[in-house]
Structure 1
């Protein structure tokens, strides 16, 4: 996914002018995901070895999930995390207790940069329905490089009180009380994991991925007996050119490098077979970015011998590494290993003789993308975890950057028959919503999604038919439509692999799409698009660039006169000739009455003084929230010409045509804002707001023009960071919530 550095601070705002009323009452809502399915990096899967069908999945920025049946839908476990705890939505590692069917442990923390809080271990004794929390004295990097490695968190199979956690920046840690507390394992040598010159320069992106992180901890269950800690355990460290595989033979009291372990690459994942052989996947880079080289090795523990069992050797013209190797619990000779970063598409190899010989599965495999049709356009990539169901050797899963796949006939490959794969991610929603458009007629919703081409949702509960194209976007930044001509929809984004235009439009409500003849010279797919009420004029503001207008569906474009570079434009909802724009921190309001060709300016006077300019933050963040969110923006009221709302980060304002803005009471912070169908008999459209009202954070609805608000989400449905919100103009009460990492959620009054 697109990495972010989460804004976490509770900004001290000058809110003296805000009238604080009693906390808003709740309106009960039922919440469901808008079905996209997957959409993000599922970077780890763990089966419970003793409970058939019970499995867990972790994601890099969208929480964790539980699956209660072998091929059922995944259930989200961390939707209760509020904005203030968004750092915990990135799950670095997860672990189960083999002897306790209900115990679950999540190591949570998205980034290691200094601006974010430390990580935490969430522990559950009811399979993730509820959690208790143990704060850690260090940070975790669930959305940093190497996030597909692991597992860094491990429960002793002989003594569930003993849990180890390998960190990125602070060494190895141990708990003796089932994760209620952790202590640093001082016996694990600092020289094993601290960076030195041989590790090379850190990559340009990925935070701690260039540092010598501890990638996995692995117990040997045969080295102990029930109720006593296992004597033997292994730890893999992401270093090259020096010892990277370490072992303790005395329950962690001392550690030694495993003799003969290959030093050329980083250990990514490892599996210990029941016949006493240790398998390790190696790669030149932590991933999931591109690799230069890699290998798979087997260590015979009893014989103390290593063997290179690499299925296919990377070459200079086809560089790749190996992400993982896994063993069938019912047969230690059966293995799966996956490549990482292979330019022509990653490969999954199978061995039935302990790695002596291998067979690639995908050349003969058949894939059924019906559960998420958009993935048919996406190559197989980021296979950083592969698991064989311990209760069924025919059932295997592998993860991808968009969810993952599973088969129920794995062993058919052993008799030269094709395996059949289906999307395994139903229930997992991990996309980032950058814009939401609910037209006045037609489909319920059109979404602009980070990393994807966006979607036209004809049925909110069923996945869209596929990526809308042409053009085929690798990232969709904005989508908008015409208020009075809802069949006109326009979206902008980055054309995939440099092909096609960076704008696409539909004249039939999203059924079919076209590319314009031209786009403004030098313009990228970033920025915003505004569509006039009649659909005839489009104003495109590229990020940091001069806005351009087209009146002929992109056959030609003209620079807009009178607007500073980077100024976002919105269309009036009634008058097709009118557009509005704002420079909040320069206290300027702009208007056009000639279809967006030129704009005139007037002062933007706020009753409590000018807005304070946002302080520079890291990546997408400042002291005014995430700049991809709906705050600090101008909005035009449906059905009222010239009627405007200013959803500033620090409060809500409204102005009639040509009038001064007035501040509305109770609202002290905004992260997203939008309109929906008016309540029966109401004169005002429904308003939806994500932020703080009367001192309470949540998702709110007003049916009386912001005179009063009701909270419509609950503590179980908070989804960390929310970027967008929009009502549906066709259905009163229906609201769409665009999250960062939990997809798009929709709610209806109960």
Structure 2
């Protein structure tokens, strides 16, 4: 459109010269990059680690999977987890939910990952295979759907390698039956002779004020019997199905040629986990739902594969009729002692008494609790202090180290716990469990604030509130936000000229202070809730603070904006703004605020401390965007209005489809050439000899997706990440106003990173 009007006003030669300059600029932007050093901002854990997989024959070789944050391999030398999927791009973001991990018992170098976050999304599902322990992967896109972040994600393992033939792999899927590879994961075919299983949607889950209808969970585990070798493969194979009221455990005794349900199997509950001991006992845990939704009943059974006998070995029977209902989620056997078994309860809350692990030395005849009922297990939160605010939940996998009977690991909704004194349970002594989260960063960044003065970063995250990061390389010793304590923190901001005033909003809890808004007058050292809220139930939404910190404007979720000038003691509705409008503060003028209706082309300005806003039309060179088009993740930094630091009235629009800068003294915006997609946008300290803040952008520029910095208001950009640091979906990005070149990147499930210009460049 620009070029068309230019031709009408200039001669052809000028146009050709303009094209040449534009092409040269685009090419330079495509190839120009700047090396950066990237590190994780240390929070540790913060998400559901739903499976741990030990290699059976190599010491200290283990992996873990997460529901939306990729997978990790343990590095014993540095005592930390190493991420394996940081190379996943935005277009392949569905691969970050890892449905299952499988290892080759006879080749420690081989690892397989079944990757797909949601069954309902059209994005790729793939089997990733590695011959170098996850350093590099080859990929096969597969037609079967996966749900790494759906109900039943803690079940498993759904994928398994035949211990008698490393080329044979089975994959039990949620919606598309049983699949098999005979060439080490390169190609896959459906096992058509497996009985057709029509799996209904799981029971409706009733939670306060809502009903949730989970998607079908399908087949949940494949277990081989390594002692049943026949014709260069395992003869006996077991497959579990997440259903009740009908057969849910099938077996083949001829290497997969035929399949049949096992006689006498329990069908009143659905299986959740299974493991085969070396002495021929198949242990299975059961519940009323796949989890991590509510379970109201459960059991543990043992199946003798030699004589076909079933035995109910449930440690503690749930009593749903007495409001003491719960299920059983995980089971593990000590490889060195096949009659030593541990199992975990699930959703044993309230009157039931709290989730626990039970341990048996006699194949389930008798049990001892680890935590409750006299178990008295203890916790060490040193590695991740925020965990002290959060009780055990989603304990969905248990593993005993194949080389150390004292060492065990269990999963939770915030990471992992481990002990090195498990056998103390047998002596009636308490065990001690520390977090094993170093290297795992699975939080979702909902807002990032780097104040002009004070701490490097204050993070707002999902599920665990957020942190004040005095030291980016160590977890906050005081843990996550309290007084009030939030689950999600949706917004956090400070006064641009007075960063002592910090305000955050989100969803509160009953822990340490109530309400859904909190503030600090000392840069985040201490917090307190406001004495009132705009209206009953105000939560989430957008928050802004005036330049000097005197005025706050909060737009709660699905609400009108409200303003306070007395630290939340009283609130006044802003009648001149539409509902759900995000307001931002001018960084210099304490009385000035701005807001935008992007899709209707309306810019709102207040010069009276937010009491009233005036409306004017604004224009974009390519027209206004279509609200119905793909706009990226709604929690991201796109489709927002921004104010440049240190300038009055200097506005930017980070549209999902492009970047725009307001013409001085005008409501018209100029398009920044080359930017075609934005997921996050922010400002940082200006480059040396520059008087304008550096720009940071996560998105696509000149056909290249990545993370970019501009030191000249968007005329030129450098890509500052590389193809091994992509992190799938990025939601937030901001520079540090105190240090040139430093940038903070908030991801969807891989935590928050900070980057600095590499000193070795």
Q: TM-score range by the shorter chain?
A: over 0.9
Residues 713/208 of structure 1: CA separation in 2 closer, same or farther (3 Å cut): farther
Instruction: Return structure 1 stretches of 4+ with deviation > 6 angstroms.
Output: 13-18, 202-208
TM-score (norm 1): 0.94
Measured in 2, the distance between the counterparts of 1:254 and 1:187 equals 7
SS at match of 2:698: strand
SS at match of 2:506: strand
The residue correspondences of 1:101-140 to structure 2 (distance < 5 A) are: 101-113=108-120, 115-140=121-146
Question: Residue in 2 aligned with 1:637?
Answer: 644
Matched, 1:488 2:496: no
Measured in 2, the distance between the counterparts of 1:82 and 1:749 equals 22
Residues 395-451 of structure 1, C-alpha deviations (whole Å, 9 max, x = no match): 000000000100011111111111111001110000000000000111110011011
Question: Residue in 1 aligned with 2:570?
Answer: 556
Q: Deviation at 1:228?
A: 1.1
Residues 203-251 of structure 1, C-alpha deviations (whole Å, 9 max, x = no match): 89999954250010000000016x8110001000001011101100000
Q: Tell which has more relative contact order, 1 or 2 (C-alpha 8 A, sep 6+).
A: 1
CA contact (8 A) 2:204 2:213 kept: no
Residues 507/16 of structure 1: CA separation in 2 closer, same or farther (3 Å cut): farther
Q: Deviation at 1:683?
A: 1.8
For structure 2, list consecutive stretches of 5 or more residues without a partner in the other structure. 6-18
The residue correspondences of 1:357-372 to structure 2 (distance < 5 A) are: 357-363=366-372, 364-372=376-384
Q: Deviation at 1:14?
A: 12
SS at match of 1:488: strand
CA contact (8 A) 2:159 2:170 kept: yes
Residues 666-722 of structure 1, C-alpha deviations (whole Å, 9 max, x = no match): 111111000001111112111000111111110000011111000000000000100
Question: Residue in 2 aligned with 1:8?
Answer: none
Residues 695/544 of structure 1: CA separation in 2 closer, same or farther (3 Å cut): same
Question: Residue in 1 aligned with 2:39?
Answer: 32
Measured in 2, the distance between the counterparts of 1:463 and 1:270 equals 36
Residues 15/667 of structure 1: CA separation in 2 closer, same or farther (3 Å cut): farther
SS at match of 1:413: helix
SS at match of 2:458: strand
After alignment, is 436-445 or 491-500 more displaced? 491-500
**Among 294, 311, 315, which residue is 2:315 paired with?**
311
Question: Residue in 2 aligned with 1:298?
Answer: 302
Matched, 1:546 2:551: no
Q: Deviation at 1:117?
A: 2.4
Residues 379/70 of structure 1: CA separation in 2 closer, same or farther (3 Å cut): farther
Measured in 2, the distance between the counterparts of 1:382 and 1:217 equals 22
Question: Residue in 2 aligned with 1:712?
Answer: 720
Measured in 1, the distance between the counterparts of 2:718 and 2:698 equals 11
Q: Deviation at 1:16?
A: 9.7
Question: Residue in 2 aligned with 1:737?
Answer: 745
Measured in 2, the distance between the counterparts of 1:102 and 1:15 equals 56
Matched, 1:415 2:423: no
Matched, 1:156 2:162: yes
Residues 740/361 of structure 1: CA separation in 2 closer, same or farther (3 Å cut): same
Q: Deviation at 1:137?
A: 0.9
Measured in 2, the distance between the counterparts of 1:255 and 1:674 equals 58
Residues 464/196 of structure 1: CA separation in 2 closer, same or farther (3 Å cut): closer
Matched, 1:428 2:440: yes
Measured in 1, the distance between the counterparts of 2:103 and 2:510 equals 41
Matched, 1:509 2:523: yes
Question: Residue in 1 aligned with 2:260?
Answer: 256
Question: Residue in 1 aligned with 2:12?
Answer: none
Q: Deviation at 1:170?
A: 0.6
Q: Deviation at 1:200?
A: 5.2
CA contact (8 A) 2:73 2:83 kept: yes
Residues 352-380 of structure 1, C-alpha deviations (whole Å, 9 max, x = no match): 11111111101311100111111101110
SS at match of 2:234: coil
Residues 139-175 of structure 1, C-alpha deviations (whole Å, 9 max, x = no match): 1000000000000000001100000000011100011
CA contact (8 A) 1:641 1:657 kept: no
Measured in 2, the distance between the counterparts of 1:14 and 1:741 equals 40
Q: Deviation at 1:524?
A: 2.8
Question: Residue in 2 aligned with 1:334?
Answer: 340
Measured in 1, the distance between the counterparts of 2:626 and 2:361 equals 65
**Among 214, 224, 232, which residue is 2:229 paired with?**
224
Question: Residue in 2 aligned with 1:749?
Answer: 757
Question: Residue in 2 aligned with 1:4?
Answer: none
Residues 38/540 of structure 1: CA separation in 2 closer, same or farther (3 Å cut): same
Question: Residue in 2 aligned with 1:532?
Answer: 546
Question: Residue in 2 aligned with 1:88?
Answer: 95
SS at match of 1:575: coil
**Among 396, 405, 413, which residue is 1:384 paired with?**
396
After alignment, is 28-37 or 61-70 more displaced? 61-70
CA contact (8 A) 1:650 1:668 kept: yes
Aligned length: 726
Residues 456-515 of structure 1, C-alpha deviations (whole Å, 9 max, x = no match): 111001011212210011111111111111111100011115971110001111110011
CA contact (8 A) 1:118 1:138 kept: no
**Among 236, 240, 245, which residue is 1:236 paired with?**
240
Matched, 1:352 2:365: no
After alignment, is 649-658 or 157-166 more displaced? 649-658
Measured in 2, the distance between the counterparts of 1:610 and 1:14 equals 15
**Among 77, 88, 105, which residue is 1:98 paired with?**
105
Matched, 1:682 2:690: yes
The residue correspondences of 1:542-691 to structure 2 (distance < 5 A) are: 542-615=556-629, 623-659=630-666, 660-691=668-699
Matched, 1:322 2:328: yes
Matched, 1:188 2:197: no
TM-score (norm 2): 0.93
CA contact (8 A) 2:152 2:217 kept: no
Measured in 2, the distance between the counterparts of 1:741 and 1:211 equals 24
Matched, 1:721 2:729: yes
Residues 400/394 of structure 1: CA separation in 2 closer, same or farther (3 Å cut): same
